[in-house]
Amino acid sequence: MNTLTKSCTKCGADKPLPDYYADPKCRDGLAHWCKVCALAHARDYRVSNPERVAAKNKRWREANRDHAASTKRAYREANREKVAAADSAWRAANPERQIDYQRRYTYGTDGRDLLASQGGLCAICACDLASLPPNQQHLDHCHETKRVRGWLCHGCNTGIGKLKDDPALLRAALAYLETA
C-alpha cells in the first residue's frame, strides 16, 4: 500500500483514496470500508430492517421539517412529469383512499362518522350506500359555506344539484309531483 491507495477492511482490495468516504473518527480521515462495500452494507441493512429505517427517517423528517419540505419541493419541481405519473398511478390503484383524501382536504372530514350516524343510508332515499360504488356515494355539502350536510346516493345528490340546492325549487317540484 502506498499513500495514494488504501486497503478496504471489508473486501481487502487496495483502492485509490477517492474510493473511500471521509470519516473524521478514523486516524487517516477516511472510512475503513470502500464506498462499494459501504453502499452494499447500507443497502442490505435497509432491506433487512425496513421498520427501523422508516422510523429513523420519520424522526429525521419531523426534526428537520423545513429542510425536508424544501428538498421534496425541489424534487417535485425538477421531476414534474415523473411525479405526475406516479401520482396518477397511485390514484388509479387507490380510488377509495383518494376520495377520502379529497374529502378530508376539501371538507375537513372524510365523513365516516356522519355515514355511521346515518346508518350507512342515503339521507334522502335511505338506499344502502355500501351497495354502491365509491363514485356513486356523495358527501353532500353547501357550495357557499362548504358545510357538510350528509351522505347521499348519486341520484339524490344529482337531483338537489339540478334544483340548485334551492328549497323553494324543491318545494315547487314536490307540489308539482303531488298535483300530477
Question: Domain check: are 11 and 68 in the same one?
Answer: yes
Query: 20-65 pLDDT, tens per residue?
Result: 999 999 999 999 999 999 999 999 999 999 999 999 999 999 999 9
Would strands 148-153 and 137-141 be described as parallel, antiparallel, or unpaired? antiparallel
Which residue segment(s) compose the domain that 55 sits in?
Answer: 5-76
User: Is 65 among the domain residues?
Assistant: yes
Report how far residue 149's alpha carbon sits from residue 166's, in angstroms, rounded to the nearest whole number.
Answer: 14
Residue 66 is assigned to a structural domain of this protein: yes
* Beta strands 20-22 and 148-153, pairing class: unpaired
pLDDT at 180 exceeding the cut of 90: no
Residues 159, 165: Cα–Cα separation, whole Å:
9
Same domain, 159 and 128: yes
Domain match, 100 and 175 both: yes
Query: What's the CA gap between 164 and 116, in Å, rounded?
Result: 27
The reply to whether 59 and 103 lie within a common domain is no
117: nearest Cα among 105, 133, 129, 107: 129
Number of domains in the chain: 2
> pTM for the full model?
0.51
Whether 45 and 111 share a structural domain = no
The answer to whether residue 32 sits within a structural domain is yes
Both 43 and 118 in a single domain? no
